[in-house]
Amino acid sequence: MPVAVVAIGGNSLIKDEARPSVAGEIAALEETCGHLGAMLSQGWDLVLTHGNGPQVGFNLLRSELAAAAAPPLPLDVLGAQTQGSIGYLMQQVLGNELRRRGIRKRVVTVVTQTVVDPEDPAFHRPTKPVGPFYERDEAERLQRERRWRMVEDAGRGWRRVVPSPMPLEIVERLVIKGLVHQSIIVIAAGGGGIPVIRQGDDDLAGVEAVIDKDLATSLLAQSIGADLLLISTAVERVAINYGKPEQRDLSEMTVAEAKQYLSQGHFPPGSMGPKILAAIRFMEAGGHEALITTPESIGRALAGQTGTRIKGNSAGELKS
């Protein structure tokens, strides 16, 4: 069976940003898992990854607020917590969907570590948004009082940023590949994986960071030889000149065109940029196809009716 690695955004698990809740996460997952169930019915084997920006931010805030009563937890441990909690919900909701469809497959979550370079300059330049969105006044107060670094995130408000080093290796890749060969649905590399470094005699140690989910997903897809990298996001199609009168939605890009648009600044680093870079790296490593679309559009995108495909440089001219 063909193997697809599907990335689910952490923000897409929040139904109501003003009042986030576990019930809201379950409702969002029920929608997404309905579309994933349709993929499974079509004969795909799946590896699922997910973001954790809002969730790890909430856990970080809880840890800091409770510091007087309980020991604070580092970001790598908080990332592991979100892998477990979100993985649990995904296992449960997707398992229910499979039973309704009569699909006899098992679902498992693999707590996943991702190796990064301890000398990565990202440790000195935090860029990864985590936690909720804030109004400017509140963001300035948090920056003063808690010494958080705050940035405006895609025009939706202000968020805290933490280091986001480049993923180099998925530690549990062979375990994940073995499970996929048994047709087990695997949830892995949640939140980009738990950031770890190699030291001494190749020992692993956690570090304070959050890895970009899309770049880690691409690395995982390359590591297991997946056929398709599917990144679900907030827009049905990728666009150049986004938000401008000359905006143009794209149904297809070659790798060369994707690189060109990326270098021209069409895909900002805080939003679409990592997704495009993830697709480029997957394709350059020998991937068959990368696809970007919304969760609800997955079925139509697989049928070629929507979404943005990134193909090899031998593909035809750019379509819109």
Catalytic residue among 79, 131, 193, 275: 275
Domain that holds residue 267: 3-116+168-311
Query: Quick one: average pLDDT of 152-163?
Result: 84
The residue from 128, 190, 192, 287 that is catalytic is 128
Residue (of 251, 259, 264, 317) closest to 284 by Cα position: 259
Please check whether residue 127 lies inside any domain of the structure. Answer: no
pTM: 0.88
Whether 275 sits among the annotated catalytic residues: the reply is: yes
192 torsion bin: left (phi>0), alpha (psi -120 to 50), beta (else): left
Query: What are 74-86's pLDDT values in tens digits?
Result: 889 999 999 999 9
- In whole angstroms, what is the distance from residue 12 CA to residue 75 CA? 21
For the stretch 12-54, pLDDT in tens is 777 667 777 899 889 989 989 999 999 999 999 999 999 988 8
**Is 83 a member of any domain?**
yes
On whether residue 121 sits in a domain, the answer given is no
The domain total for the chain is 1
Give the whole-angstrom CA distance, residue 90 versus residue 112: 16
From 190, 213, 307, 311, active-site residue: 213
Strand partners, 290: 229, 310
| Residues in CB range of 109: below 8 A, 6 or more apart | 83, 84, 87, 88, 90, 91, 186, 187, 188, 190
C-alpha span between 24 and 207 (Å, rounded): 30
Q: What is the pLDDT of residue 318?
A: 47
For residue 233, what are the CA distances in angstroms to 100, 261, 297?
26, 19, 10
**Amino acid letter for position 55:** Q
Active site residue 319: no
Beta bridge partners of 21: none
Arithmetic mean of pLDDT over the chain = 91
> Considering 9, 10, 34, 192, which one is annotated as catalytic?
10
CATH number at residue 89: 3.40.1160.10
- pLDDT tens for residues 246-274? 999 999 999 999 999 999 999 988 789 99
Measured from the Cβ of residue 117, the count of other Cβ atoms closer than 10 Å reads 14
Residue pair 275/192 in contact by the 8 Å Cβ criterion: no
Is-catalytic flag, 128?
Answer: yes
